[in-house]
């Protein structure tokens, strides 16, 4: 059983409410979930958000769309993940962040495949500043390792970043990494700023109407054909 947990909230500081910004006629987070659902290896998708009133609107949107939701402490994201794991028991958890509407289901599956093949405690596909584009981050952690780190590591970093202690403990955990064919670690496909959102909006505007299941290669070809997008907002996009 493989559980995908997308952490999301409306109180992001750089671009508040970003997960509900419109993309091709639907909230950004729902467009991302649409893509995650194409991953073959995922059995259940749950959005892990906070108990704060500021996230009530997010929960309403998700529930109306038929998306499972778990609520927990705003600052303790690890506690949110553990709570969700109690409700939806799984052998492995895929950690995703809800600001990545260009996430690639094939990359998700490849990361999970490597994790299972290597019998790893934790598998990831980027280590700043290298790996897949920022915005295609995928982390897979065995449920047993997640529970262990929660019991043993109580630092603010571990509670906020969920996999922090496992990622930084190769002497204590079996860690694997999926490397891309070409290093694109500097490329920004995530949504943290207004410029990021405008870039992603243009990609969706150009690709989604003709092919809602557009691929990463489609994104690359689209950006190459539009030189103004290659460094949109001063960030590398290709």
197 band by pLDDT with thresholds 50, 70 and 90: very high
pLDDT tens for each residue of 214-236: 999 999 999 999 999 999 999 99
- Report the predicted TM-score, pTM, of the whole model to 2 decimal places: 0.96
Q: List CB contacts of 180: < 8 A, sequence separation 6 or more.
A: 125, 131, 132
User: Is residue 203, in this structure, part of any structural domain at all?
Assistant: no
- Domains: count for the chain: 1
For the chain, what is the mean pLDDT?
Answer: 96
pLDDT tens for each residue of 46-57: 999 999 999 999
Query: What residue numbers bound the domain in which 68 lies?
Result: 2-186
5 in Cβ contact with 139 (< 8 Å): no
User: Is residue 37, in this structure, part of any structural domain at all?
Assistant: yes
Question: Torsion angle of alpha carbons 11, 15, 20, 21, nearest 10°?
Answer: 160
User: Is residue 27, in this structure, part of any structural domain at all?
Assistant: yes
Task: Provide the CATH number for the domain around residue 153.
Answer: 3.90.550.10
User: Is residue 18, in this structure, part of any structural domain at all?
Assistant: yes
From CA 226, how far away is CA 83, in angstroms rounded?
A: 44
161 band by pLDDT with thresholds 50, 70 and 90: confident
User: Is residue 201, in this structure, part of any structural domain at all?
Assistant: no
Q: Name the DSSP class of 133.
A: P
User: Is residue 200, in this structure, part of any structural domain at all?
Assistant: no
User: Is residue 85, in this structure, part of any structural domain at all?
Assistant: yes
236 in Cβ contact with 195 (< 8 Å): no
User: Is residue 226, in this structure, part of any structural domain at all?
Assistant: no
From CA 103, how far away is CA 31, in angstroms rounded?
A: 10
Beta bridge partners of 152: none
């Amino acid at each position: 059983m493989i559980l995908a947990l997308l952490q999301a909230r409306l109180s992001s500081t750089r671009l508040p409410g970003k997960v509900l910004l419109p993309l091709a006629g639907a909230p950004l987070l729902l467009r991302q979930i649409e893509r995650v659902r194409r991953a073959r290896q995922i059995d259940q998708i749950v959005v892990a958000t906070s108990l704060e009133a500021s996230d009530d609107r997010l929960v309403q949107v998700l529930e109306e769309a038929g998306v499972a939701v778990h609520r927990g402490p705003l600052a303790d994201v690890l506690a949110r993940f553990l709570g969700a794991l109690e409700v939806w028991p799984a052998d492995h958890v895929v950690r995703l962040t809800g600001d990545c509407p260009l996430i690639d289901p094939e990359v998700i599956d490849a990361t999970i495949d490597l994790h299972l093949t290597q019998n790893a405690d934790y598998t990831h596909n980027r280590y700043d500043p290298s790996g897949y584009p920022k915005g295609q981050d995928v982390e897979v952690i065995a449920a047993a390792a997640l529970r262990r780190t929660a019991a043993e590591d109580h630092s603010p970093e571990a509670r906020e970043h969920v996999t922090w202690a496992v990622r930084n403990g190769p002497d204590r955990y079996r860690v694997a990494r999926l490397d891309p064919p070409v290093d694109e670690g500097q490329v920004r496909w995530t949504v943290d700023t207004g410029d990021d959102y405008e870039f992603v909006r243009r990609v969706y505007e150009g690709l989604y109407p003709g092919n809602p299941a557009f691929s990463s290669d489609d994104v690359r070809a689209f950006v190459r054909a539009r030189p103004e997008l290659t460094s949109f907002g001063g960030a590398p996009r290709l």
